[in-house]
Each structure stands twice: as structure tokens, then as C-alpha cells.
Copies of this chain bind each other. A is one copy, B any other.
Amino acid sequence: MVGSVPVGGDAPISVQSMTNTSTADVSKTVSQIKQLESAGCELIRLAVPDMDAAKALREIRESISIPLVGDIHFDWRLAVSAMEHGAQAVRINPGNLGGQKNLSRVVAAAKQHHVPIRVGVNSGSIEKKLLHDYGYPTPENPKALIESALNNVRALEKLGFYELKVSIKSADVLTTINGYRNLSALIDYPLHIGVTEAGGLIAGTVKSSVALGILLHEGIGDTFRISLTRDPVEEIRVGYELLRSLKIRERGPELISCPTCGRTKIDLFSLAEEVERFIQTMDSPLKVAVMGCVVNGPGEAREADIGIAGGHGVGIIFKKGALFKKVAEAELLPVFMEELKKMEAERRQSLDHC
């Protein structure tokens, strides 16, 4: 459990992110976390680079609804202080805390505050001895990553601490896949999965989707962060698209839209974008289609609960592949949105009756 969020076993795969505000700036940090919460973020990690940041955690925690994870490097005192100030989990790289004594201080605090620890190993910060023995982690030989994680886990177990989560991150997709496949065969602790320094919106989304898609499809991974050089809200959005694509979890409507072709007679890109923006405000897990072709559209998108297709001045609204309404093209979007609102309201009402 990280606060109220279960991680591992049969618990839902949880979607997390990390703030990029200065943690000591409470109001900015809280405001970013609130945006992340409405996007569906379930665990939030915050960098704790100094004592001001550690102390700010208390006030931040009081203003947010999701559990808060302190991210600490190098200084055991920051980890202890983060827990004293309300961190519901800490992420440490036990190898960089300056030895066994410091680690035992962190563990004592974790026991006292009932706080789990993520052992967070990164390719870029593996102990020199392991790099020397096994070489820098590669897809063919991710051993240094795995041994670093195992050593750290054993060090914590020796201190009688078992409330663990483990990650071994790399910027390389194949190293990530092979590393976690090996690790998951060796330990039973929940795994936090992710590709680190994945890049910008597109490259980062591709790398994370490939690596995490393959792992989650194989049943590996209990919680994850999509790491993007972007507004963290995008990380959450990509995270849910990933879970949805594999039918692991659903959140809100899904947009099915055709890529347009030489047969398309309307400005489908704008239409699809407007619909996409609108459905992001909805909760119902509807399949919504936006198709460029009145003839093929409804058939091609018969999986959709509701959809539109337009062209040659006429627009149609269809439900489950069958014609529902024919409207002038100019009326298409407003009529469609009215219908979506009605479906959302009906769903809410039916939930109210439960």
C-alpha cells in the first residue's frame, strides 16, 4: 500500500507521474498535482533535493488527494525528513546513500512511519563495482541493473524490511524489456516499470508504449510512470491510452478516427480534435468514432457506440454502425455533442440508481 493505493498482486496497474515544480513552492506544486489528479494520476512523486522541499511535503499532502512519494538521492537525512513530513513512500537508490549505516537510518524511519520504499535503480547510476564486473547494461546483458537491484533489495531485507517496490530503469527499450523480464523471474516484489529519459512527446510516447506495452502484455509490471520531457499531464494521458490499448483499464471515452485519404471531403482533423477535446471531459467509457467517409465510415467504425461521418455537405450520426440521424454538415458537431452529453447524463443517472 502506498497510502490508500494498493500496488502489486491483483491491484489495478496504477498510473503515476512526477511533479516538475520546485517542491518547496507549495502552491505551484499543489496546483500541478491537482491537474494531475483530474487527469487520473494515482500516485505522485516529488523530488526532495533539500530540507525546504522535505518540509514542504506536509502542507502539500494536506492539499491533495493522492499519495505522495518522496524522491531522494544521496542524503539519508532528506529521506528521513520526507517521511517525518508525511511522504507516504520514498524512492531511493540505496547504493548512493553513503553506506549501510545511513541505509539503516532510512529503514528505521520507514518502519516507524509505515512507509514503503521503492528501490529505484537507473542505468546511469549503477555502483562502479557492478559496472566493472558486468559492464554497462545492454539488451543482451542487463545484468548490472539486475544485480544492483538485487543487492539493494537484499540489503533492505537484511534490515528486516520487506515493504518494497523495485524499478530498474534504462533509456533503452530493449534493455528495459529484457531487464524486467529477468528481474520478474527472480523476485516477487511489485515492480514499478518505465523507460527513463524517454525523450519528447512523440519519441517518448513510442519508446514507453513499446517497452511497457510488451511488458504489461506479458503480465510484468504493477505501476508505471511514462516519462516525457513535457507537461506531466501528458504522461498520465499516455498512461491511460496504454492501459486501454491492452484492455487492462479504461478511463473515459475512446476516440476512433480514420486517418483521412483522398476520399475525404471534410476537414476531419479539426473535427476529430474538437471531438477529442470534448470527450476528455466525459467519464463514460464510450467508443466514439469520427470518420471521413459517409459510405464506409459507419461500417468501418461499427465497434463505436456513437460516431459521425461527413462529406459532400451531409453529415450522419450513427450508433453501433447503424444510421441514427442525418444532418446538414454545418449542424454535425453541435448535434453530435448534444447526443454525447445525453449519453453521458443517462450513464450518470443509471449509476445514481445503483
A-to-B contact residues, CB < 8 Å = 18-24, 29, 46-49, 53, 71, 73, 122-125, 136, 139, 171-174, 177, 196-207, 209-211, 213-214, 217, 227-230, 232, 234-235, 237-238, 241-242, 245-247, 254-264, 268-269, 272-273, 276, 289-291, 296, 299-303
Residue of B nearest to A268 (CB): B229
Q: A205-B209, A230-B259, A230-B269 provided; 10 other pairs, C-beta below 8 A?
A: A23-B262, A24-B262, A171-B303, A173-B247, A196-B258, A203-B254, A203-B255, A209-B210, A210-B246, A229-B269
Q: Return A63 CB to nearest CB of chain B, in Å.
A: 16
Question: Which of chain B's residues have a CB closer than 8 A to the CB of A173?
Answer: 245-247
Which residue of the partner chain, among B229, B235, B238, B303, contacts A172 with CB atoms under 8 Å?
B303
6 tightest CB-CB pairs across the interface, nearest first? Answer: A124-B300, A47-B262, A210-B213, A209-B209, A206-B241, A47-B261
Q: Return A230 CB to nearest CB of chain B, in Å.
A: 7
Which residue of the partner chain, among B206, B209, B246, B258, contacts A229 with CB atoms under 8 Å?
B258
Q: Are B174 and A247 in contact (CB under 8 A)?
A: yes
Contact flag A200-B272 (CB < 8 Å), given A174-B246, A210-B209: yes
Question: Which of chain B's residues have a CB closer than 8 A to the CB of A303?
Answer: 123, 136, 171-172
Q: Are A202 and B199 in contact (CB under 8 A)?
A: no
Q: Kindly report how many copies of this chain are found in the complex they form together.
A: 2
Interface-centre pick from A204, A211, A213, A234 (highest chain B CB count, 10 A): A213
Contact flag A299-B247 (CB < 8 Å), given A18-B259, A199-B255, A261-B18: no
Residue of B nearest to A275 (CB): B200
Q: How far is the CA of A232 from the CA of B228 in the complex (A)?
A: 23
Q: Are A210 and B242 in contact (CB under 8 A)?
A: yes
Q: Return A327 CB to nearest CB of chain B, in Å.
A: 21
Q: How far is the CA of A53 from the CA of B261 in the complex (A)?
A: 12
Q: Are A241 and B300 in contact (CB under 8 A)?
A: no
Q: Are B203 and A229 in contact (CB under 8 A)?
A: no
Question: Which of chain B's residues have a CB closer than 8 A to the CB of A229?
Answer: 257-260, 268-269, 272, 290
Q: Are A124 and B299 in contact (CB under 8 A)?
A: yes
Which residue of the partner chain, among B47, B264, B300, contacts A122 with CB atoms under 8 Å?
B300
Q: Return A130 CB to nearest CB of chain B, in Å.
A: 14
Question: Which of chain B's residues have a CB closer than 8 A to the CB of A257?
Answer: 197, 199-200, 204, 229
